[in-house]
Amino acid sequence: MTHPSRTDLAVESLELSRGGARQAGELPGVSSRTRTIEGFSAASVEILDEQGEQLLGKPVGVYETLFLDALIRREADAFPRACRALARLLGGLLPQDARASTLVAGLGNRDITPDAVGPRAAGYVIATRHLTAQAPEHFAGWRPVSVLAPGVLGQTGLESGELLSAAVQAVHPAAVVAVDALAAGSVRRLCRTVQLTNAGIVPGSGVQNARAALNRDTLGVPVVAVGVPTVVDGRTLARELSGEPAAPDTAPLIVTTRDIDREVADLSRLIGYALNLAFQPDLSPEDVDLYLS
């Protein structure tokens, strides 16, 4: 099925597919459910087989989405609750061995705000691989974590996948967690959700600048992707607002929010803190504050 809207979000693809099929229940090859975690709504979409892949346009895997309404409303304790909720979802996708080494990759261009979620989130992740190796008496219970922000091809002359492949060969992680900005199919999802999936990621696909896929096949280890929708395609936006498709010769246009600087700063911090809580379950958001200060 070809969707009229371009989106990286599995929940949106599911909504579009259900609308096209005019049904509210489960689709062939797809399973879904919703639940509440720490006061936040969470949706799980699992693509089970090739039929599900064709319907939703995404690879087989589990796609978890956390809706950040309580955080947007600035409810009491919303930030620590959101950190714990996101960490819980992430923990369900990571290797269950608490000592399994993990490599975090902050994808994107730090100098372009809507694309800066990955590298900025990586800046909040506590790197521990050297500590667990050099001072095991103090960090024996910590998961070894390495952190890399590889930049983009135009800055380095190297594909992110090439750099990550070299890093994987050097540190031999049990899994890679790749953080990146995504494209939404609706303005109501911009900077309002976080998606996690064990299906990997294709950097740049949401803005028609797709690079090599980052997944188990290309890197040799499981890849968990964490993403926030920070942009929407102009043609998709035109369809949403007018109900009519944009003219075929319309110039490509990417739209973001007016407050994208603040939103990217807040979401990057949320993701970074949540990663720390998932990797080191004994930590609290307050502990992370101390370690990063």
Q: Which parts of the chain fold into alpha helices (H)?
A: 10-21, 50-56, 69-72, 78-91, 117-122, 129-134, 136-139, 153-156, 160-171, 216-219, 234-242, 260-279, 285-292
Rounded to the nearest 10 degrees, the angle between the axes of helix 260-279 and helix 78-91 is 50
- What phi and psi values does residue 21 have, to the nearest 5 degrees? -90, -5
Give the model's pLDDT for residue 3.
42
Lowest pLDDT segment from 104-108, 127-131, 208-212: 208-212
Mean pLDDT of the chain: 90
Q: How do residues 84-118 score in pLDDT, each as one tens digit?
A: 999 999 999 998 887 899 999 999 999 999 999 99
Confidence of residue 292 (pLDDT cuts 50, 70, 90): very high
Does the CA dihedral 205-233-260-225 come out positive or negative? negative
pLDDT tens by residue, 178-205 = 999 999 988 889 999 999 999 999 876 5
Question: What is the DSSP code (8-state) at residue 239?
Answer: H
Of the CA atoms within 13 Å of residue 54, those in its CB half-sphere come to: 6
Give the HSE-up count for residue 206: Cα atoms under 13 Å, Cβ half-sphere. Answer: 27
